[in-house]
């Protein structure tokens, strides 16, 4: 086996498979507005990639939403779950890219969403069986941009990080995967484009999930 041969692919969830970044932003902002709190400059970007305990503490400590962080988190998650029950916002090509790559590699998922929402999305999209490993940042020591969630996914998959490819959209996600040692395919979103320095960490940048094919992933075996 070649040392750099791709042995696994790890997906992000929010912004890669589901068009949910805007919904997270709307729900969190809504809770802040209801509490009479202003939305801090940079808060939206700061929250992307945080684990549930981290973003809940941010809402209470930085934004000033009253209540215990765990109660605020439960309120946000309940509202997100309600939105998903109403309409699951799968991105174009999401189901197809998972099915396509699952034919060639074991798949992992490294998500900042809480376990409740990860499971709800994958079950609703009939994709749960395609993923060998799924990890939420609430299950590791820190959220993205910490590499912890990617390190845990590749550990459970039983592959070296350098033999895995991540698919990410956000600045913090790109930094997390790259710091863990994975090669990264970036799928930037128009609503929340990644910072240039984060995007430069990607081995390749694509414009849609349809561009992510087995030959593209295999080509990354020769890239550092």
Q: Please identify every residue annotated as catalytic.
A: 12, 14
The token duo for 66 is 């009253």
Cβ 89 vs Cβ 20: under 8 Å: yes
Distance of CA 219 to the CA centre of its chain: 23
Query: Angle at CA 115, nearest 5°, toward 162 and 131?
Result: 45
H or E segment and range at residue 8: strand 8-11
CA 174 to chain centre: 9
Cα angle value 181/126/175 (rounded, 5°): 20
Q: Cα-flanking dihedrals φ and ψ of residue 168, to 5°?
A: -135, 160
Residue with tokens 């395919």: 185
Looking at the DSSP bridge assignments, the partners of residue 18 are: 14, 90
Distance CA 106, CA 196 (A): 30
Nearest CA-CA partner of 71 in 24, 130, 30, 31: 31
């Amino acid at each position: 086996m070649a040392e750099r041969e791709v042995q696994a692919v790890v997906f992000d969830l929010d912004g890669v498979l589901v068009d949910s970044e805007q919904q997270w932003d709307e729900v969190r902002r809504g809770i802040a507005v209801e509490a009479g709190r202003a939305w801090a400059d940079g808060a939206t970007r700061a929250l992307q990639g945080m684990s549930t305990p981290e973003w809940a503490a941010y809402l209470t400590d930085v934004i000033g939403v009253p209540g215990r962080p765990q109660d605020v988190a439960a309120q946000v998650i309940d509202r997100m779950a309600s939105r998903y029950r109403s309409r699951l916002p799968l991105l174009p090509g999401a189901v197809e890219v998972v099915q396509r790559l699952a034919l060639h590699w074991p798949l992992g998922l490294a998500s900042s969403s809480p376990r409740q929402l990860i499971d709800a999305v994958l079950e609703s999209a009939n994709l749960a069986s395609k993923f060998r490993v799924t990890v939420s940042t609430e299950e590791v020591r820190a959220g993205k941009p910490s590499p912890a969630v990617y390190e845990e996914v590749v550990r459970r998959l039983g592959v070296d990080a350098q033999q895995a490819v991540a698919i990410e959209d956000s600045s913090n996600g790109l930094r997390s995967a790259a710091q863990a040692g994975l090669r990264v395919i970036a799928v930037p979103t128009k609503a929340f484009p990644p910072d240039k320095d984060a995007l430069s960490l990607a081995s390749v940048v694509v414009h849609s999930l349809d561009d992510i094919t087995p030959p593209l992933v295999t080509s990354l075996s020769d890239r550092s």
